[in-house]
Structure 1
Amino acid sequence: MSQTIATDDKSLCVLKAASQVFLEHGFNAATTDMIQQAAGVSKATLYSRYPKKEALFAAVIEYQCSRFTRRVQQIEVTPGNIRKVLLEIGRTYLSLLLSYESLALFRVVVAVADKFPHLARTFYTSGPGTMTKVLAAHLEKAANAGEIDVQVIGLEAAATLFTGMLRGEAQLIALTHPESQASEAQIDQWVNQAVTTFLRAYGNADIA
């Protein structure tokens, strides 16, 4: 992760304010004056840490993505309980993915991807790319315990397939129906479908 992540209280204050402004107004409409006022810091403080708006948005991307991935990383994986673990991972991941912050960040990143491809790359590396590595580490523990066998495709590919099954319809509906909000029952249905399908493909016979 780059050095744009907050390392002091004022930087964190700026990042929180910038997150609010960027997610509410989008990259183009957001201004450094708006962020400075929301953060309650001087222009000198803002520019000494983030001299350009692009650098500040890159920091916001990393900050928001790190918050999401940390939640999944903290899930404990214990041998003999892979279905329960995957269900917990799935619910946590999908709830975060469908949150206002996550959907708003995705929309803003996609909107500027053509003009600022490096920002889109930052999002992919810090968000989906890091999440794949976190999940792959969880799956490795299950593979070592003999609960799953993903040798034919590899750990990271298996992690990508699992998150893809979780994300697919759920994120598409959320993005195209911004007025709607998935219920807990709908989230559970999506998660159960993904976990069942994954374990039928890669779990041992007793678990799948």
Structure 2
Amino acid sequence: MRETRVSVGNGLFVTFEGGEGAGKSTQIRLLADALRERGYKVLTTREPGGSPGAEAVRHVLLSGAAQDFGVRMEAMLFAAARSDHVEQIIRPAILGGTVVICDRFMDSSRVYQGVTGNLEPSFIEALERVAVNGVVPDCTIVFDLPAALGLERVHRRANTAMVPPGQEVGLDRFEREELETHEKRREAFLDIAAADPKRCHVVDAAQSASDIAAAVLSIVEPMLPGSGGGPRTEAAQ
């Protein structure tokens, strides 16, 4: 899939991708802390969500409320949420010189709705082109983990979570799916990374949190504003 990235300022756009339970949230926090200590402006965000409009759609998607309408409708809702997120939050932040770190982005739609949702590539490509509107990540880190281990982490997290009285702990619409589906998504993320090695970097998510954090920082560091590397501005093949 061809991506055309539009130069949108002096910031950096980093996305974290991977299957359920890969530890993305922890690593986003660690990377953001490390960069802030170095004096960088950092914005952490997530998908679906990240902007007020997209957060409203997030509940509909993750609760499974849209599931009965089919995967095509889900893909369209993800795209609508992403468009709002890009225009309201991500693009302005990058224009302002901020390092934006996002938990999931366009690759998740390629995998979840495209590969395991069995939607045709031309449909996914069209939605992506409109939703990102030229804002393609400078760097995508794919956290690779066997699906069985990831789901074990997800269930353990759900069982130990502290929630307010009257609220239930549960898995979201995607976490509830079969192991075979999760493993297929793992392979799809690896395929994306192999096809776009300039943008995508695979990290073994079975390592310790500190080792993963060190690997992530070593990938991002050369791309930081002022480092001499700078963000990508060319079209990725």
What's the TM-score once normalised by structure 2's chain length? 0.31
Higher strand share: 2
Greater Rg over alpha carbons, structure: 1
Normalised to the residue count of structure 1, the TM-score between the two structures is 0.34
Identify, as 1 or 2, the structure richer in helix. Answer: 1
